[in-house]
Structure 1
Amino acid sequence: MSSSFGERYSYFKQVLSPIWLFKSEKELQLAKEIVNTPGVPNERVSVADVKWARTLYASAFHPDTGQVNPLIGRMSFQIPGNTIVTALMLTFYRSPLQQVSMQFINQSFMAFCNYTNRNAQAPLSNQQVLLGYLSATGTAVGVSFQLSRVAAKATNPLMAKLVPFVAVCAGNMVNVPLMRQQDFLEGIPVNDSPLEQGGGSNRLGQSRQLGVMCLAQVVATRISAAIPIMVLPPLVMNYLNKSAERRNIQVHKKSFGRPLWVLFEASLIGVCTYMVLPLAVALFPQHSSISIDKLERPLHRQIKETHPNVQVVYYNKGL
Structure 2
Amino acid sequence: MAEPAEYPPFQLGKPRFEQTSFYGRFRHFLDIVDPRTLFVTESRLKEAVQLLEDYKHGTLPPGVTNKELWGAQKIKQAIIHPDTNEKIFMPFRMSGYIPFGTPIVVGLLLPNQTLASTVFWQWLNQSHNACVNYANRNATKPSPTSKFIQGYLGAVISAVSIAVGLNVLVQSANKFTPATRLLIQRFVPFPAVASANICNVVLMRHTELKEGIDVLDSNGNIVGSSRIAAKHALIETALTRVVLPMPILVLPPMIMSIMEKTSLLRSRPRMVLPVQGLVCLAAFGLALPLAISLFPQMSEIETSRLEPEIAMATTSKTVVYNKGLSHECT
Do Structure 1 and Structure 2 share a fold, with TM-score over 0.5? yes
Q: Give the structure 2 partner of residue 282 of structure 1.
A: 293
Shift of 1:235: 1.0
Counterparts of 2:293 and 2:286, CA distance in 1: 12
Aligned partner of 1:184 among 203, 209, 227: 209
Counterparts of 2:109 and 2:293, CA distance in 1: 26
Three-state SS of the structure 2 residue aligned to 1:118 is coil
Q: Give the structure 2 partner of residue 198 of structure 1.
A: none
Three-state SS of the structure 2 residue aligned to 1:229 is helix
Shift of 1:99: 0.6
Q: Give the structure 1 partner of residue 322 of structure 2.
A: 315
Aligned partner of 1:25 among 38, 42, 50: 42
Q: Give the structure 2 partner of residue 229 of structure 1.
A: 248
Q: Equivalent residues in 2 for 1:5-44 (5 A)?
A: 5-35=22-52, 37-38=55-56, 43-44=62-63
Identity %: 31
Shift of 1:181: 3.4
Residue 122 and residue 174 in structure 1: after superposition, are their counterparts in 2 closer, same or farther (change >3 A)? Answer: farther
2:87 corresponds to 1:99? no
2:206 corresponds to 1:206? no
Contact kept? 1:285, 1:317, Cα under 8 Å: no
Give TM-score scaled by structure 1 length: 0.81
Q: Give the structure 2 partner of residue 160 of structure 1.
A: 185
Counterparts of 1:163 and 1:193, CA distance in 2: 45
Q: Equivalent residues in 2 for 1:130-145 (5 A)?
A: 130-145=149-164
| Residue type of the alignment partner of 1:261 | V
Q: Give the structure 2 partner of residue 254 of structure 1.
A: none
Shift of 1:15: 1.7
Counterparts of 1:309 and 1:229, CA distance in 2: 41
Contact kept? 1:189, 1:205, Cα under 8 Å: yes
Shift of 1:271: 1.1
The count of corresponding residues between Structure 1 and Structure 2 is: 301
Shift of 1:314: 5.2
Three-state SS of the structure 1 residue aligned to 2:260 is helix
Counterparts of 1:282 and 1:41, CA distance in 2: 33
Of stretches 34-43 and 46-55 in structure 1, the one that deviates more from structure 2 is: 34-43
Of stretches 110-119 and 166-175 in structure 1, the one that deviates more from structure 2 is: 110-119
Any gaps of 5 or more consecutive residues in structure 1? Answer: 195-200, 252-256
| Residue type of the alignment partner of 2:153 | L
Residue 273 and residue 311 in structure 1: after superposition, are their counterparts in 2 closer, same or farther (change >3 A)? Answer: closer
| Residue type of the alignment partner of 2:202 | P
Residue 91 and residue 231 in structure 1: after superposition, are their counterparts in 2 closer, same or farther (change >3 A)? Answer: same
Contact kept? 1:92, 1:98, Cα under 8 Å: no
The C-alpha deviation readout for 1:67-125, integer Å capped at 9, x for no partner, is 43332321101211331210111126521111111100011111222233334455431
Residue 90 and residue 311 in structure 1: after superposition, are their counterparts in 2 closer, same or farther (change >3 A)? Answer: closer
Q: Give the structure 1 partner of residue 308 of structure 2.
A: 297
Any gaps of 5 or more consecutive residues in structure 2? Answer: 1-14
Contact kept? 1:190, 1:314, Cα under 8 Å: yes
Q: Give the structure 1 partner of residue 3 of structure 2.
A: none
Residue 250 and residue 44 in structure 1: after superposition, are their counterparts in 2 closer, same or farther (change >3 A)? Answer: closer
| Residue type of the alignment partner of 2:24 | E
Aligned partner of 1:172 among 185, 191, 197: 197
2:67 corresponds to 1:48? yes
Residue 271 and residue 221 in structure 1: after superposition, are their counterparts in 2 closer, same or farther (change >3 A)? Answer: same
